[in-house]
Amino acid sequence: MRVVTDPAELRQASPPPLVLVPTMGALHAGHLALVRRAREAAGPDGTVAVSIFVNPIQFDRAADLEAYPRPLEADLDRCREAGVDLVLAPQAGAMYPPDRSVTVLETSLSKTLCGATRPGHFDGVCTVVLKLFNLFRPAAAVFGEKDFQQLAIIRRMVRDLDVPVDIIPFPTVREADGLAMSSRNLRLSQEQRADAPRIHRSLRHAAGRPDREAMVAAAREGIESPLNRIDYLELVDAETLQPHPDPGRRALLAAAVFYGEVRLIDNQPVAPAAG
């Protein structure tokens, strides 16, 4: 496995096709599932690449950036065990010149959900992902559906900017009790960790309610506990991410929930309304 810290070294060619798994590190079984999907797409002779970079420009809270776990050596060990061929693990200074002045903006899909409560977050996401695409020149990249809004925005960016990368979605990977796997789970207390599976359980149960108001109310009732506070809870169109879903299309019931300073996100697809 080749480990690169200087992005310029990526100019050295890797066997095509190259399939990228962008991460911020603290790798868990969910990330490794993305790596396995990348290997399927790349084939035995292609290149599976992983980026490990805690991207500072997508954080809206300095404390969250500072507290984000960075177990680089353990991450590299996991990549080796998973058969990753190439890892980029740069410092922020190697990715962003001190006088940088260009940012990628998305102006529609980022106005709801996480985009509404984390100003500038998706500007940072789009900017770093486009940089990674330019550096790696991948044939494809794998993104998890837990970050559904991020996946939708990256797809839109690729479409609108004619970026020649195939975006491969991957279903949310969960713990045995239903909690969506996340690097942030490491920061939960034992009591918070025991409580957090209520997020997915409540979204899943509420998704069967007959109308929007009943769905959101049922999800809120199930999620709320003395240990958390809801950042947002919304039913949106799964394609446009707007808050009034087209009844003929799939919707998405999505939530972000704080446990102390730890913010967890999850979502549940909702089938189109019966005709």
pLDDT at 11: 87
52 residue type, one letter? I
pLDDT at 246 over 80: no
Q: What is the pLDDT of residues 192-235, one digit of tens each?
A: 999 999 999 999 999 988 888 999 999 999 999 999 999 999 99
Catalytic residue among 31, 200, 205, 244: 31
Q: What is the pLDDT of residues 139-169, one digit of tens each?
A: 999 999 999 999 999 999 999 999 999 999 9
Alpha-carbon gap, residue 163 to 185, rounded angstroms: 33
Phi, psi of 146 (to 5 degrees): -60, -45
pLDDT at 64 over 70: yes
Interval 2-6 mean pLDDT: 97
7 cis-preceded (ω within 30 degrees of 0) = no
pLDDT at 21 over 80: yes
Please report the DSSP string for 10-56 in residue order.
GGS--PSSEEEEEE-S---HHHHHHHHHHHHHH-TTSEEEEEE---G
pLDDT at 271: 87
Residue whose tokens read 């990549």: 79
Interval 13-39 mean pLDDT: 97
pTM of the model: 0.95
| Residues 43-46: contacts with CB under 8 Å, at least 24 apart | 43/17, 45/15, 46/15, 46/16, 46/17, 46/18, 46/19, 46/139
Q: Which range has the worst mean pLDDT, 92-106, 127-141, 204-218?
A: 204-218
pLDDT at 274: 55
Interval 58-80 mean pLDDT: 95
Kindly list the structural domains of the chain, giving each domain's residue range(s) and its CATH number in brackets, ordered by start: 2-170 (3.40.50.620), 183-266 (3.30.1300.10)
Q: What is the pLDDT of residues 182-197, one digit of tens each?
A: 999 999 999 999 999 9
Residue 31 known to be catalytic: yes
pLDDT at 13: 87
Average pLDDT of every residue of the chain? 95
Phi, psi of 155 (to 5 degrees): -60, -40
